[in-house]
């Protein structure tokens, strides 16, 4: 097997941000779980990446002291082949993930997780630039509406479409859940 699933930042920290959207969360969780279950059924290794940074205080949801730097409640339990903790947007910066991938002969990465346009997109671009094949699964990523500099709101669905458009053909193949599992 030369493919693995990256589950990036699918962690409780996000429920404790003011921009968290339960309405967007439910479809994401269903898709993320379907992807996890499909990969586990095919023997595709699952790699968990969590994000921890900022002041190490209980009131910072991305601090280990908060207790929220852990997998999302409701996420399908899958024993990860490895777990990495990052403090930058790319899962490949300072985590040892790149070394682990090379040592284990992995050449294709299926990218999923939370924030579509931040950590997921950044990791996909970085991995592609380093020579990995990348399958990006937009439905198994989650993001939220964002304020623009002019005060208007950029809708989360538009952010996801934009991310898929800029990655497709240059940095990643854009796949649905079933396609990503079958391509592995």
Quick: pLDDT tens for 60-76.
Answer: 999 999 999 999 999 99
- Of 146, 142, 126, whose CA–CA distance to 134 is shortest? 126
Quick: pLDDT tens for 147-183.
Answer: 999 999 999 999 999 999 999 999 999 999 999 999 8
Please report the beta strands in the chain, taking only residues with DSSP state E, as ranges in sequence order: 3-8, 46-51, 82-86, 108-114, 133-142, 146-147, 153-154, 173-174
- Of 61, 39, 41, whose CA–CA distance to 52 is shortest? 61
pTM above 0.85, yes or no: yes
Write the class of the CATH domain 3-183: alpha beta
């Amino acid at each position: 097997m030369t493919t693995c699933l990256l589950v990036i930042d699918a962690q409780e920290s996000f429920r404790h941000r003011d921009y968290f959207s339960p309405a967007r969360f439910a479809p994401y969780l269903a898709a993320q779980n379907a992807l996890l279950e499909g990969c586990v059924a095919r023997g595709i290794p699952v790699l968990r990446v969590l994000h921890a940074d900022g002041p190490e205080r209980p009131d910072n949801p991305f601090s280990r002291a908060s207790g929220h730097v852990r997998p999302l409640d409701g996420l399908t339990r899958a024993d990860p082949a490895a777990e990495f903790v990052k403090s930058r947007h790319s899962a490949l910066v300072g985590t040892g993930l790149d070394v682990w991938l090379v040592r284990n002969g992995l050449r294709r990465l299926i990218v999923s997780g939370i924030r579509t346009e931040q950590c997921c997109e950044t990791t996909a671009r970085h991995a592609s630039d380093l020579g990995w094949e990348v399958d990006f699964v937009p439905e198994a990523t989650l993001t939220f509406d964002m304020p623009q500099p002019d005060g208007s709101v950029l809708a989360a669905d538009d952010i996801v479409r934009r991310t898929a458009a800029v990655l497709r053909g240059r940095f990643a193949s854009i796949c649905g859940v079933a396609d990503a599992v079958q391509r592995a």
